[in-house]
Amino acid sequence: MNSGLLKNIKQDAPAGLVVFLVAVPLCLGIALASGAPLFSGIIAGMVGGIVVTAFSGSQLGVSGPAAGLATIVLAAINDFGAFDIFLASVVVAGAIQMALGFARAGIIAYFFPTSVIKGMLAGIGIIIFMKQIPHAFGYDRDPEGELAFIQKDGQNTFSELFNMLDFITPGAVLVAAVSLFVLILWERPFMKRIKIFQVVQGPLVVVAGGIILGKVLAGTSMEITAEHMVSIPVASDFNGFISQFTLPDFTALGRWDVWLTGGIIALVASMETLLCVEATDKLDPEKRVTPTNKELIAQGIGNFTSGLIGGLPVTQVIVRSSANIQSGGKSRASALFHGILILLSAMLIPGVLNMIPLASLAGILFVVGYKLAKPALFRQMYREGMQQFVPFVVTVVAIYFTDLLIGIGIGMAVGIFYILRRNYLSPYIVETKQEEDDHHFRIKLAQNVTFLNKASILKTLNKMPEDSYVLIDASDSNFIEHDVLEIIHDFKEAARHKNIKLSMCCMKHLNLNGFEESLNELIVNANVDQSDAGKNTESELSHV
């Protein structure tokens, strides 16, 4: 690490440690949910923390295996019938992602509305919180990292809450309760003023306390057995550790289905990464902006590497990234440190990691989930109006009951609906001025006037009274659709029969789509001759 990365090491090292503690069971759980070797999840965690971070421009984002890809991975491994063939598709996915980065496809990240991104964060927060409740009670049938509402075993998030009542483990409940007490205590202002507690982070105390409680309760009626602990594969020696890495089947690169799967992984992983980048940047206290094209290249290098050595596909992940931010991470050093810790612990002390109760980690993730979905966030979005609140809530609900990408898609659709609705309702402003028996109207068109505005504009023009003066002002318009220009052209003919003095302003900068000649006399009338409509309306209403 260079001096730049070491600049905030006092904050980054503890944050990296917390992310490491959260990441290890998630790596294992996602591997289990994906039908892949458990160690492939650990490899992906190492690659996400070390390789991706080395090339990334994201200061607080943390990469690793993603729950959103578990279904795709499971189906691909089953279809190929061999894990090494699947690894070839991960290598292909990495190459495609690098190509997307060099093609500057990262710009897509800037087209997601803030309401949808905040909804994504809140939705993930609720999922994290709800999924940890069974683990806190010692019911660990659904693996860590499983974020889907409908689970592989046919159960769902709600049914698991009822199932756990028959499998409550008192020792796990005690560990979870103590863990939550410690984490809440560590958040109190008086604790933060004590120097020792600024160095020693609450999650570290929680994990150490969980290991100690596990040892104390061993042999009693409240014993926490191995099935309720972290379960990382243990190698007998260094050669055994190395043997857990797997090379891809390079001969499979000639198969079209390997390339198809690689393309699907690349697209889904890129979308998840870009969404996470946008969300992480919003959570960043310093509001730094991640270069998205550089991030796609970094993710591509990561997936290329992960596929080469036997790992699952990686993306930037909001659970790890938000844990990093909430633990005080300041720079890329925290993500790098977490990756190094995964490597060293898997190599040197896997037995120690296997003493950590899952209930301890549940306590840590409870706090992470709560901070992402605080009630204050819902109140804030409500105060910002329905146009922000409705897409936000729809995104939260959709993500909870489907998955990340489908939920974002539904939220985007609702957000776009509100944009179109606003455009439909506000295509223009009508200004009116009465002078003796004369009626003067100025119709000020919006910046973009599309076919969605046809009915409203037609209705307004048809209501213009006889013997009036009408000015259609396009000074703020960048685009007027052909259909609307056609309506204006037809109104020009109707105005003659109703003795309406019609003129137009500021349309010379627009592409009139073939209407130049037919509307020319109106433009000249407004801009040059200053006819009755032009003189009176333009001068008398300009201040309105």
The chain-wide mean pLDDT, for the chain, equals: 86
Q: For residue 380, what pLDDT band results from cuts at 50, 70 and 90?
A: very high
Question: Are residues 33 and 166 both part of a single domain?
Answer: yes
In the predicted structure, residue 432 carries a pLDDT above the cut 70: no
Lowest mean pLDDT among 64-68, 207-211, 271-275: 64-68
**The pLDDT of residue 381:** 93
Q: Per DSSP, what are the bridge partners of residue 479?
A: 448
Within 8 A by CB and 6+ apart from 447, the residues are: 476, 477, 478, 479
Question: Are residues 168 and 308 both part of a single domain?
Answer: yes
Question: Are residues 388 and 465 both part of a single domain?
Answer: no
Q: Distance (Å, rounded) from C-alpha 252 to C-alpha 269? A: 21
Question: Are residues 403 and 440 both part of a single domain?
Answer: no
Question: Are residues 316 and 221 both part of a single domain?
Answer: yes
**The pLDDT of residue 329:** 93
Q: Considering the domain boundaries, does residue 422 fall inside one? A: no
Q: Considering the domain boundaries, does residue 76 fall inside one? A: yes
Q: Considering the domain boundaries, does residue 120 fall inside one? A: yes
Contact 377, 122 (CB under 8 A): yes
The residue among 11 and 311 whose pLDDT is bigger is 311
Q: What CATH number did the domain enclosing 497 receive?
A: 3.30.750.24
Looking at 48-113, list the stretches that DSSP marks H as alpha helix, in order from N- to C-terminal side: 53-55, 70-80, 83-102
The last residue of a domain, from among 355, 385, 411: 411
Contact 280, 60 (CB under 8 A): yes
Question: Are residues 391 and 435 both part of a single domain?
Answer: no
Domain with 433, as residue range(s), is: 427-541
Question: Are residues 534 and 444 both part of a single domain?
Answer: yes
Question: Are residues 396 and 468 both part of a single domain?
Answer: no
* 543 CB-contact burial (10 Å; exposed 0-12 / middle 13-18 / buried 19+): exposed
Q: Is 154 helix (H, G, I), strand (E, B) or coil?
A: coil
Question: Are residues 352 and 447 both part of a single domain?
Answer: no
Q: Considering the domain boundaries, does residue 418 fall inside one? A: no
Question: Are residues 289 and 377 both part of a single domain?
Answer: yes
Q: For residue 524, what pLDDT band results from cuts at 50, 70 and 90?
A: very low
Lowest mean pLDDT among 60-74, 195-209, 341-355, 426-440: 426-440
**The pLDDT of residue 538:** 39
Q: Considering the domain boundaries, does residue 255 fall inside one? A: yes
State the DSSP H helix or E strand holding residue 305, giving kind and residue range, or none if neither. Answer: helix 292-309
Q: Considering the domain boundaries, does residue 309 fall inside one? A: yes
Looking at 312-403, list the stretches that DSSP marks H as alpha helix, in order from N- to C-terminal side: 318-326, 332-348, 350-353, 358-372, 375-383, 386-401
**The pLDDT of residue 508:** 58
In the predicted structure, residue 528 carries a pLDDT above the cut 50: no
Question: Are residues 84 and 227 both part of a single domain?
Answer: yes
The last residue of a domain, from among 380, 411, 442: 411
Q: Considering the domain boundaries, does residue 421 fall inside one? A: no
- In DSSP notation, 76-94 reads HHHHHS-HHHHHHHHHHHH
- In DSSP notation, 383-434 reads HT-HHHHHHHHHHHHHHHHS-HHHHHHHHHHHHHHHHHHHHHH-SEEEEEEE
Question: Are residues 449 and 359 both part of a single domain?
Answer: no
Q: Distance (Å, rounded) from C-alpha 65 to C-alpha 58? A: 17
Give the mean model confidence (pLDDT) for residues 259-279.
94
In the predicted structure, residue 427 carries a pLDDT above the cut 70: no
Q: What is the tens place of the pLDDT at every residue in 460-519?
A: 888 888 888 898 888 888 788 788 888 888 888 888 888 888 888 876 555 555 555 455
Q: What pTM was computed for the model?
A: 0.75
In the predicted structure, residue 53 carries a pLDDT above the cut 80: yes
Question: Percent of the chain, pLDDT > 90?
Answer: 51
The last residue of a domain, from among 382, 411, 440: 411
Q: For residue 429, what pLDDT band results from cuts at 50, 70 and 90?
A: low
Q: Considering the domain boundaries, does residue 138 fall inside one? A: yes
The structural domain count of the chain equals 2
In the predicted structure, residue 411 carries a pLDDT above the cut 70: yes
